[in-house]
Amino acid sequence: MNLLKFGSKSKKDKLFFRSLPWRSYLVFLAGIYFLFSTLGFVSSLLAPGAMSYGEIIRNSLLSGLVGAIYAHTFTRDLKFLAVGIILQFVLAFSPYGNLELIKDNPELVTYLRFHAVGIMLLVILGYILFVKFISGEGLKHFKYKTEIDLARKMHTILVPEIVYKNEEFDISGISKPVGEVGGDMADMFKLKDGKMVLTVADVSGHGVSAGLLMGMFKSALRSNLTHGDSLSECYSNLNSMIFDLKDKKMFLTASSISIHPGKMEFIVAGHLPLLIYRKGTKKIEELTIRQIPVGMKKDFKFLEGEFSLESGDFVVMVTDGVPETFSKSKELFRWKDSNGLLKKMQLKRVVN
């Protein structure tokens, strides 16, 4: 049983080294090579004065090669073990020079050999601890990197760029994570009756868990919309469903706009207000409904509202990534700055 556990642990330790790009792995092997090449010079201390400079350099080159091969053997491929053993024998039984020279001062020889053995033991012990540390921390890094890659792929699939245009509306949406993985979502869903629903959401947290919650919210929202539910009914239903399937500390803020002939509805759940630029008055309106985020309380009835648009008006839906953005001068972009910014920007620039 212990052997099985050891074998399983050994395989886990190798995961990090096997996941390394060859360039990084070769740097690691080069470090091991130069570390063990010092043993070639240490070997001359075991027989002081008996080796020529050429023999010392030879032993140094072979020692580094043996160390690198053993490192590769126990981190990636056991097939190289035989090669390492053969080179070890070549190194051990290599002929020395004039051994008679070391008999003149036995006390000095003992003194130097003591240093040589100490250096070898410390180098080998340091190497073992070095690899042990890298294997342990490397495995954690490997798991973290795997999760980050998975979360990034989930975000790419769940939040594609939105580009849509018809005779009445020009719609675009995009989500660009500040870090490696984002928790924001932008979605456009077209129904068979011509109705369109635009949604922006911000999931608390990051990583795979945030991606899963985002996926549940998006699929549940679309499912409810397909059944003809209103925005308030959709949010109330999916809030009850998601509440039991998520971590207690997780939630999401969201806002949606429902567009269908003769009527436009909106809903805001703990999210930033919708910004409407009125072309006629050149003013900015904020639309919001003060209510809790999705997933905060199981039984909650969400409310919705109505609004209208004139030709040339445009609506902006954002997440907190906008007010939390820093300018080039390292100043925080404030929410109140958005009104002035939208007035200065043309519709085409907002869409792009």
In a shared domain, residues 145 and 199: no
Task: Supply the pLDDT for residue 352.
Answer: 47
Domains in the chain, number: 2
The tens digit of pLDDT for each residue in 81-136 reads: 888 888 877 777 766 555 555 556 677 777 777 878 888 888 888 877 777 777 67
- Residue 292: exposure state from Cβ atoms within 10 A (0-12, 13-18, ≥19): middle
Taking the C-alpha atoms of residue 339 and residue 284, their distance in angstroms, rounded to an integer, is 6
In a shared domain, residues 6 and 104: yes
**Best CA proximity match to 211, nearest among 269, 152, 255:** 152
Q: Are strands 263-269 and 274-278 parallel, antiparallel or unpaired?
A: unpaired
Task: Supply the pLDDT for residue 104.
Answer: 65
In a shared domain, residues 11 and 114: yes
The tens place of each residue's pLDDT in the chain, 352 residues long, gives: 443 443 444 555 566 777 777 888 888 888 888 888 888 888 777 777 777 788 888 888 888 898 889 888 888 888 888 888 888 777 777 665 555 555 566 777 777 778 788 888 888 888 777 777 776 776 677 677 777 777 677 767 777 788 888 888 888 888 776 655 667 888 999 988 888 999 999 988 776 777 788 888 888 899 999 988 899 999 999 999 888 888 888 899 999 999 987 789 999 999 989 988 888 888 888 899 999 999 999 889 999 999 998 888 888 888 876 666 666 666 555 555 555 555 555 544 454 4
Task: Supply the pLDDT for residue 8.
Answer: 47
The tens digit of pLDDT for each residue in 151-169 reads: 677 767 777 788 888 888 8
Taking the C-alpha atoms of residue 257 and residue 268, their distance in angstroms, rounded to an integer, is 9
Last residue of a domain, one of 127, 149, 171: 149
In a shared domain, residues 16 and 76: yes
In a shared domain, residues 116 and 230: no
In a shared domain, residues 105 and 167: no
Reduced to 3 states, what is the DSSP secondary structure of residue 242?
Answer: helix
Full domain range(s) for residue 107? 2-149
Beta bridge partners of 170: 165
206: left (phi over 0), alpha (psi -120 to 50) or beta: beta
In a shared domain, residues 28 and 71: yes
Taking the C-alpha atoms of residue 148 and residue 142, their distance in angstroms, rounded to an integer, is 10
**Best CA proximity match to 93, nearest among 54, 119, 62:** 62
Taking the C-alpha atoms of residue 47 and residue 110, their distance in angstroms, rounded to an integer, is 10
> How many other C-beta atoms can be found within 10 angstroms of the C-beta atom of residue 267?
25
Q: Tokens in use for 345? A: 């920007």
In a shared domain, residues 145 and 209: no
In a shared domain, residues 7 and 107: yes
Inside any domain, residue 9? yes
Inside any domain, residue 245? yes
In a shared domain, residues 135 and 200: no
In a shared domain, residues 193 and 128: no
What φ, ψ does residue 306 adopt, rounded to 5°?
-125, 155
Residues 58 and 40: beta-carbon distance below 8 Å: yes
Task: Supply the pLDDT for residue 175.
Answer: 78
First-residue to last-residue Cα distance in the chain: 62
Inside any domain, residue 154? no
